[in-house]
Homo-oligomer: A and B are copies of this chain.
């Protein structure tokens, strides 16, 4: 556990991550597709964390709209999550620079490709990784911080299947730059556990989908709440491994995978637009419902600001509990 942090007189957190982003609490709301629009990002930022707009499901026009709204509605800094394999990425980057967005989290793809461009525009760059090896490459590429995301996280995942518990300590061992943990974090105890393992901040995804501010369909949010252990699985490893909720679409994928069909057949079953169908439009049967294992502990839809407050109070509470027990 790093010791270069402190609680401020105002009750905020001071460490490399809060200073890097200019935020009160080391809590980042993941920029998820079909969930993280300006409403969610501004709610989290206004509550003292860092809200991220999920550009991965936004055309340049839609991203432009969300950036405008977020700037108008956030008194604090917010950022954008930008998957690097998006075909319209140059336009998205132009918009991000035009709107003077101060922070960008990149994922999927080579951090060397865009990091210099973004940093030259004065933007803080963070890259999401699933291995120490890739974390080192990001450090070499000059990013300001990395998010190390474990096997339990929703959406696209690394091939090593390293869990958060095993990943964070090893990334911490190997890199110098600031480290944010993601995957399986949904409450104060998992936030504290991540910090104890060596992280300096936490990125939270699934928990923030279950908010009124997330743009996802209510039916999807309710399905997350119903989820128990074993409700998600990492599938489509022949294409790109993705963690999603089990549903009829999942059943078709598994049936095909259990017959060892070719890549092309899986691509055909996957088709186009299933994540939108499921997560935004609420089609729980045909949709691809990307979410994390931590769903099994999520019990309600709660305003984003209340989640941030609950995390922060709980995190503080754990410090007090531990301090009281220390000789």
Q: Which residues of A contact B (CB under 8 A)?
A: 1, 3, 5-7, 11, 131-133, 150-152, 159-167, 169-170, 173, 183-185, 187, 189-190, 192-194, 196-198, 228-230, 233-234, 258-260, 292-294, 296-297, 318-323, 325-327
Contact = CB atoms under 8 A, between A and B. Distances in A.
Contacts of A133: 228-229
B160 A152 contact: no
Given A1-B321, A161-B234, A189 B170 contact: no
Q: Which of A3, A159, A230, A322 has the most CB of B within 10 A?
A: A322
B152 A166 contact: yes
Contact of A320 (B294, B296, B326): B326
Given A161-B230, A163-B165, A169-B190, 7 more contacts: A7-B327, A162-B229, A164-B165, A166-B184, A166-B297, A260-B260, A320-B326
A312 to B, nearest CB: 13
B184 A163 contact: yes
A2 to B, nearest CB: 9
Given A193-B196, A197-B193, A326-B319, A150 B165 contact: yes
A131 B163 contact: no
A229 B160 contact: yes
Given A6-B325, A229-B160, A230-B131, A165 B167 contact: no
Nearest to A258: B260
A116 B194 CA distance: 39
A152 B159 contact: no
Contact of A163 (B159, B163, B198, B260): B163
A33 B325 CA distance: 37
A183 B323 CA distance: 27
A229 B323 contact: no
B230 A162 contact: yes
A233 B161 contact: yes
Q: Which of A162, A167, A321 has the most CB of B within 10 A?
A: A162
A228 to B, nearest CB: 8
Given A229-B133, A319-B322, A163 B189 contact: no
Given A131-B230, A229-B131, A229-B170, A165 B187 contact: no
Contacts of A166: 152, 184, 229, 292-294, 296-297
A111 to B, nearest CB: 18
B159 A230 contact: yes
A293 to B, nearest CB: 4
Contacts of A3: 321, 325
A169 B194 CA distance: 13
A13 B189 CA distance: 21
Contacts of A194: 193
Nearest to A183: B165
A279 to B, nearest CB: 20
A236 to B, nearest CB: 15
B162 A189 contact: no
The 5 tightest CB contacts between A and B, nearest first, are A160-B230, A165-B184, A260-B260, A193-B193, A323-B326
Nearest to A296: B170
